[in-house]
Structure 1
Amino acid sequence: MNKTVEFRDWGLVDYQEAWDRQEDIFSKTLAIKQDNRTNNLTNPTPNYLIFTEHTHVYTLGKSGHEEYLLLDEKGLKEKGAKFYKINRGGDITYHGPGQIVGYPILDLDNFFTDIHLYLRTLEEAIILTLADYGIEAGRYEGYTGVWLDADNDKARKICAMGVRASRWVTMHGFAFNVNADLAYFRNIIPCGIDDKDVTSMERELGRKLDMAKVKGKLKNHIADLFHMELI
């Protein structure tokens, strides 16, 4: 098992560029696994933890509902946003500046082969990061992601998740609202949930956060929970 994980911060990039980069890494990892299987080899597969921010964009998962996007082409242009149908799970969501988008491209054969546990572990890393800032968060039964006040009618989502996996190699991941402009969520029915609010760390704490510091804490929690050796 190779638990070494290369950490990359791509900064602010267009969604399509990041998707293309992900697909390239993902396909190369799958090719190593296929070559190992075909030729009875044991070449280690690489692992990556990628953080990025995106310019304004709405993405729709493969099982999503396009009608949950409440803007037409003119509206998207006015908002300076793009729209993509993509190959992850989940419904529609928003990405933009001030939001940590995490793309773990991991071969789970190096960690554990359980997608449910994988999602719960990513959620736990977000929950622990929020706790570092005095924000109590948790899970909402029946939903993925990380929520505040999930046990009452003030429930609000602070981190969305949607992943893809093939032969236990993962891509896509999570979108964690730190300083995100929440007004953009009004143009969609986020994740198909029309009766729950969306929030951010900035909204909860009443101040902007240092993105680099939040990324550092989150990165370390992910590494600890997965027993990774980050490089």
Structure 2
Amino acid sequence: MTPENAVPPLIRRLGRIDYTTTFERMRAFTDARDDDTPDEIWLLEHPPVFTQGQAGKPEHLLMPGDIPVVQSDRGGQVTYHGPGQLVVYFLIDLKRRGYGIRSLVTHIEQSMVALLADYGIRAYADPEAPGVYVDDAGGRRMKIGSLGLRVRHARTYHGLSLNVAMDLEPFSRINPCGYQGLRMTQLADLGGPASVEAAGEALLRHLLVHLGYDAVHTHD
């Protein structure tokens, strides 16, 4: 690893923050950064919101009710964010890191799979459907982690969401990630922690290893 691409990322723990505000901050950061700007990783939660991906189809939004729907510019279809779900956003210079988007996605998915293994949960990724999945006792797939990124000028924003201990009901109001009947699950229901903060810190350790960062600079 060269000194240039070994520059540690800045870690921001933002707590619970509005989706639109965060979205605007990510785009502004990406537009303003230059070749010397350190990467950043943001850990946070959102109040209840449905977000529609750039190519999202309206038929996958079934009955949003009182939960707002926000048009995003990430990849993928519609998903739900809410309290009790860990969200991690990746503001990464792909060229400097030497990654393509597919390799970055793989590293992120592997980090989530490794975290779940720490809690004795067997999880896996699917190259045809980005995200992380577990199977129930009958072998039926359930999704626990979702992923959607945007790349502008070889720099990423958006990221992952991992269900920790949340109300999963709003997922029934959509076809999650565009898949009709896809069931969702969460860490707390599978023997993992119910704390978003604890899950975030544990996942961060895996992310830093899988993404090849040697050190971090923390800013809460």
* TM-score, normalization by structure 2: 0.91
Q: Secondary structure at the match of 2:161?
A: strand
- Which among 74, 77, 90 is matched to residue 91 of structure 1? 77
Structure 1 unaligned segments of length 5 or more: list them.
34-43
Which residue of structure 2 aligns with residue 38 of structure 1?
A: none
Which residue of structure 1 aligns with residue 211 of structure 2?
A: 226
- 1:15 counterpart = 2:32: no
Larger CA Rg, structure 1 vs 2: 1
Which residue of structure 1 aligns with residue 10 of structure 2?
A: 6
- 1:61 counterpart = 2:53: yes
Aligned partners of 1:113 and 1:168 also within 8 Å: no
- The aligned runs of 1:199-210 (5 Å cut-off) are 199-205=185-191, 209-210=194-195
Q: Matched residues in 1 for 2:99 and 2:190: separation?
A: 35
Look up the equivalent residue of 1:62 and give its one-letter code: Q
- Give the helix-richer structure, 1 or 2: 1
Q: Matched residues in 1 for 2:32 and 2:127: separation?
A: 36
What are the Cα deviations for residues 20-42 of structure 1, in whole angstroms up to 9, with x where unaligned?
Answer: 1111211112xx24xxxxxxxxx
Aligned partners of 2:193 and 2:199 also within 8 Å: no
Which residue of structure 2 aligns with residue 179 of structure 1?
A: 165
Aligned partners of 2:93 and 2:155 also within 8 Å: yes
- 1:136 counterpart = 2:122: yes
Structure 1 position 92, deviation (Å): 0.3
Q: Matched residues in 2 for 1:132 and 1:153: separation?
A: 21
Aligned partners of 1:12 and 1:52 also within 8 Å: yes
- Which among 36, 39, 45 is matched to residue 47 of structure 1? 39
- Identical pairs, percent: 30
Which residue of structure 2 aligns with residue 198 of structure 1?
A: 184
- Which among 29, 32, 40 is matched to residue 28 of structure 1? 32
* TM-score, normalization by structure 1: 0.86
- Which among 110, 131, 142 is matched to residue 124 of structure 1? 110
Q: Secondary structure at the match of 1:163?
A: strand
- The aligned runs of 1:150-165 (5 Å cut-off) are 153-165=139-151
Q: Matched residues in 2 for 1:170 and 1:183: separation?
A: 30
Structure 1 position 195, deviation (Å): 3.3
Structure 1 position 84, deviation (Å): 0.6
Look up the equivalent residue of 1:64 and give its one-letter code: G
- 1:212 counterpart = 2:204: no
Structure 2 unaligned segments of length 5 or more: list them.
none
Structure 1 position 124, deviation (Å): 0.7
Structure 1 position 113, deviation (Å): 2.8
Q: Matched residues in 2 for 1:45 and 1:208: separation?
A: 34
Poorly superposed stretches of 4+, deviation over 6 Å = none
Which residue of structure 1 aligns with residue 90 of structure 2?
A: 104
What are the Cα deviations for residues 11-66 of structure 1, in whole angstroms up to 9, with x where unaligned?
Answer: 0011111111111211112xx24xxxxxxxxxx23200001100000000111111
Q: 1:127 to 1:208 in 2, by over 3 A?
A: closer
